[in-house]
Amino acid sequence: MSNSANIPNDIPVTSTDSMLEVVQDPECLYEWLANLEASNIDETREVKNDKRRHSIGENLVRHLEMTPFPDLLDRLERTPGPVEGTPPHSALRHPRAMLDAIIHTSDMDGFRLDFEDFSGLCDARRGVFEYLTDPDTSVDDSDLETTGGSDALIHGPMGRGKTTSVTTFIARWMEVNGEAIVWRGTPQRTEWLPMAPWAVVCLPEGIEYTVRLAPPEDGSAFAETDFDPIEVDLEDIVWRVERYSDLDDLNNNVLVSGAFHVVYPDPRFRGCERITQEASECPPLEYTSVWDVNRARRDPELEADEVTPASHWWFSWLVHHNVNEERSMRTTWVCDEASNLFKHHASNDESGLSTKIDAVSQQYVDFRRNGLSFVLLAQKPREISWMIRKKMRWGVTLSGTDNPTGSDEIIGVRPPMSTEMTSSWKLGRGLFWTSGQYTEFGWDDLPRRYKVPGKLRIISPEVRRESAR
């Protein structure tokens, strides 16, 4: 077999003949990422402000080679359930287990469904509503209870498909609901990379950033080459890069309905304390930037506090959804490695972390009413604060780990499963469940052209310099 045969035709790299060289060389990985595209994304309804056009979510579903959701519902009508052995599939027999968490509606949608007037909706959402109003189908809108937002705690061991499954769900939320997706950006993790051609990366204004790309780690004793990371241009990799000045600017001007955003927190915490002061039933949250600390060190009249971790910015971002009066937008927030933010047994010695988690817990019900959905990803759900988990209504257990049973306190509803099922399942299967209902589901692997290996790091040298003073 020739070396050229080692590179699949759908991987856009031309500078080398060997797939191994592609994976080991950051320049080749950069070429791979830079040549991925979401064709016709600039012709979508969200960009052109034209309701006659296809949506970004529909564009994403097509590129990921997923079945359109209305067609999937039709297929599930004819698919035997894994337990019952007869059609329809259990996802339709028990719609609150999964469909209720995916299909988000509003009060206006209630009128659309009552009068069966779906004009102005994108093809996918119109198809879902036509399914719900069809007297010959298994599910109707009265079987779904969610108006506003929903939630899901997705848990499973490393390597069991959390990233792939959540990518599938993100595509569905965008396709069916046309909502803004916000992924919690961190310097250490870029699991969102398969969706880079659709990603709007949002960075705080006035903060310097460097983007570095490195090959995947090779822990074998036979590795012959160790490539250093290379600096790359983020705009070559993602759909758009946007800057925001503060929380108001981000949520009112930068985030776009129907689009996928990767948001990096503002280490200056602009607007964070004001937002929490405006919120009802929310204690004032305090933030201290590294610039504040360094200024206090130079001024003997100022007291030097501990630097607040940049990740704490997210607590005020969440609260902002309940105090923002300028814009109402259905949004789903995806928080990878949620235990790092909502730490179990958090204390106020950690920059007031316990108070901040409690503040989000107190605001949780209003998040749902205001159209904000929570998606938390974790390997071990009990490492997430119970103050947050007890508010959640849906669990997703992936293969390779035991699903909860009986009175297991994974989330705020009792698991309906009486037996353990998921630990022996193959990769690509999971269990979606809520109070009284559960359903098995599966997902296909991502097209390999979007499974770019390696590590992308978005870091701020400016923050590191200030921290080192």
DSSP 335: E
Residue 1 has a pLDDT of 41
The CA distance from 125 to 61, in Å, is: 13
How much is the pLDDT for 303? 57
User: Is residue 123 assigned to a domain?
Assistant: no
pTM, rounded to two decimals: 0.95
> How far are the Cα atoms of 47, 52, 328 from residue 243, in angstroms, in the given order?
18, 29, 21
> Does 130 map to a domain?
no
Domain with residue 452: its CATH number is 3.40.50.300
Q: Which helix (H) or strand (E) holds 457?
A: strand 455-459
Q: Per the domain annotation, does 286 fall within a domain? A: yes
What pLDDT is recorded for position 2? 46
Q: In terms of C-beta distances under 8 Å and separation of at least 24 residues, what long-range contacts does 436-440 make, across chains too? A: 436/96, 437/94, 437/95, 437/96, 437/97, 438/90, 438/94, 438/97, 439/89, 439/90, 439/91, 439/93, 439/94, 439/97, 439/98, 440/82, 440/90
Q: Residue 308: phi, psi to the nearest 5? A: -80, 130
The answer as to whether 395 is a domain residue is yes
Residue with tokens 């971790």: 309
Q: Give the angle 50-236-55 at the CA atoms, nearest 5°.
A: 20
Burial (Cβ within 10 Å: 0-12, 13-18, ≥19) of residue 25: buried
Which token pair is 217? 């780690």
Q: What is the pLDDT of residue 411?
A: 97
Domain range enclosing 334: 146-468
**How far is it, in rounded angstroms, from Cα 87 to Cα 81?**
6
Task: Determine contact, residues 109/101, Cβ cutoff 8 Å.
Answer: no
Instruction: Output the CA torsion sign for 446, 448, 450, 456.
Output: positive
Find how far residue 326's CA is from the centre of its chain.
24
Q: Is residue 9 part of a domain?
A: no
Q: Going residue by residue through the chain (469 aa), what tens digit of pLDDT does each one get?
A: 445 458 999 999 999 989 989 998 999 999 999 999 999 999 999 999 999 999 999 999 999 999 999 999 999 999 998 888 899 999 999 999 999 999 999 989 999 999 999 999 999 999 999 999 999 999 999 999 877 899 999 999 987 788 899 999 999 999 999 999 999 999 888 999 999 999 999 999 999 999 999 998 876 655 555 568 999 999 999 999 999 999 999 999 999 999 999 999 999 999 999 999 888 888 889 999 999 888 877 766 555 578 999 999 999 999 999 999 888 889 999 999 999 999 999 999 889 999 999 999 999 999 998 999 999 999 999 999 999 999 999 999 999 999 999 889 899 999 999 999 999 999 999 999 999 999 999 999 999 999 999 889 999 999 888 888 7
Question: Is residue 371 included in any domain, yes or no?
Answer: yes
Helix (H, G, I), strand (E, B) or coil at 232: coil
DSSP assignment string, 81-130: PTTT-SSS-HHHHSGGGTHHHH--B-HHHHHHHHHT--TT--HHHHHHHH
Locate tokens 């206090």: which residue? Answer: 296
Please check whether residue 317 lies inside any domain of the structure: yes
Q: Distance between CA 205 and CA 312 in Å, rounded?
A: 18
C-alpha span between 389 and 413 (Å, rounded): 10
Q: What does the radius of gyration of the chain's CA atoms come to, in whole angstroms?
A: 23
Q: Is residue 180 part of a domain?
A: yes
Cβ-count burial 96-124 (b if 16+ within 10 Å, e if not) = bbbbbbbbbbeeebeebbeeeebeebbeb
Number of domains composing the chain: 1
Tally of CB atoms within 10 A around 222: 5
